[in-house]
Amino acid sequence: MKAKFLIIMLVLSQSLCFAQQDSQYTQYMYNTVNINPAYAGSREALSIFLLHRNQWVGLDGAPVTNAASIQTQVGDSNFGAGLSFLNDKIGPSNENAISADLAYHIQISNNYKLALGLKGTANLFNLDVNKLNIYDQNDPQFQNLSTKFSPNIGAGLFLYSENTYIGLSVPNFFETNHYNDNDIAITKERMHYYFIAGHVFEFNPNFKFKPALLTKLVQGAPLQVDVTANFLINEKFTIGAAYRWDAAVSGLVGFQVSNSIFIGYGYDMETTKLSNYNSGSHEIFLRFEIFNNNRISTPRFF
């Protein structure tokens, strides 16, 4: 039993320190604005997005993420704006973030636009020491810990057309130390570098295929690569699969209830030793959109 507990703690501590600093999403292709501010306004609609992710179900202290965002094109201008809310719970930590996004979209050819985006974030980080097993209760590093506020800024580029997109972004430029004491940080937020890409292949009006890619690079952690393949059937039903390199395989489904409402669900199954201690991860989302008068009636695939 002690050996199993040690393995779990080692795996969790590695994830807490590095891979899980930024929230992880299986259906990142629908939640792009959280990682790339240049996406704001690209759908040319008022778009509201809600997501809940329960990771590693059955494992105490596993990550639970709730995210919400609203974004829109600003009138008939080339600007897009967005507002995002994020709550991330991992073990004893509880993190809340509010982000404002501003993007400027430039028509660079008949088919393509290039968007430049900026993100400003207010972050509130709380560590519940009552959930920690502290060897020395008088350790000054664990005294008077309260909610810590830290601001941050980020930026992104997003090149897109009706059926293709490529994006580069760094959501947070500042590497923030939480609860820093004598140059020793209990937690440290590092910069994350994202690259995303996707393309829609239309085999016929009722059958489309969209491969997508996300890569995430952060110092001290292996390169994360997510590869996804989704199929859209009759402009209504989406089904697909994903692979996170050396981490998990996923199944995805979605349903376009109407032109305005899209719901989706994803399930991750771990391919690492961590699979022995949990029953997978669940992710569900809802997207609601109000289109302007110039939008085509068929919702876009991304």
173: left (phi over 0), alpha (psi -120 to 50) or beta: alpha
Average pLDDT over residues 5-17: 40
- Identify the pLDDT of residue 157: 98
Sign of CA dihedral 107, 229, 233, 256: negative
Counting residues of the chain whose pLDDT is more than 90, the rounded percentage is 63
98: left (phi over 0), alpha (psi -120 to 50) or beta: beta
| One-letter amino acid for residue 83 of the chain | L
Q: Are 83 and 101 in contact (CB under 8 A)?
A: yes
- Identify the pLDDT of residue 6: 36
Range in 36-50, 142-156, 173-187, 210-224 with the lowest mean pLDDT: 173-187
Residue predicted with more confidence, 44 or 130: 44
pTM of the shown model: 0.84
pLDDT at 104 over 90: yes
Half-sphere exposure of 109 (CA within 13 A, CB side): 6
Q: ∠ CA(218), CA(241), CA(10), 5° rounding?
A: 40
Q: Are 244 and 230 in contact (CB under 8 A)?
A: no
- Identify the pLDDT of residue 169: 97
Contacts of 149 (CB under 8 A, 6+ apart): 122, 123, 124
| 204/212 Cα distance (integer angstroms) | 19
pLDDT at 10 over 50: no
How far, rounded to the nearest angstrom, does the alpha carbon of residue 204 sit from its chain's CA centroid? 31
Dump pLDDT digits (tens) for 285-298.
999 999 765 554 45
Contacts of 82 (CB under 8 A, 6+ apart): 33, 37, 39, 40, 41, 69, 70, 71, 72, 99, 100, 101, 102, 103
Average pLDDT over residues 223-228: 94
Dump pLDDT digits (tens) for 244-272.
998 999 999 999 999 899 999 999 999 99
- Identify the pLDDT of residue 22: 75
Q: How many CB atoms lie within 10 A of CB 88?
A: 21
pLDDT at 124 over 50: yes
| 92/89 Cα distance (integer angstroms) | 8
- Identify the pLDDT of residue 295: 53
Phi, psi angle pair for 51, to nearest 5°:
-140, 140
- Identify the pLDDT of residue 5: 38
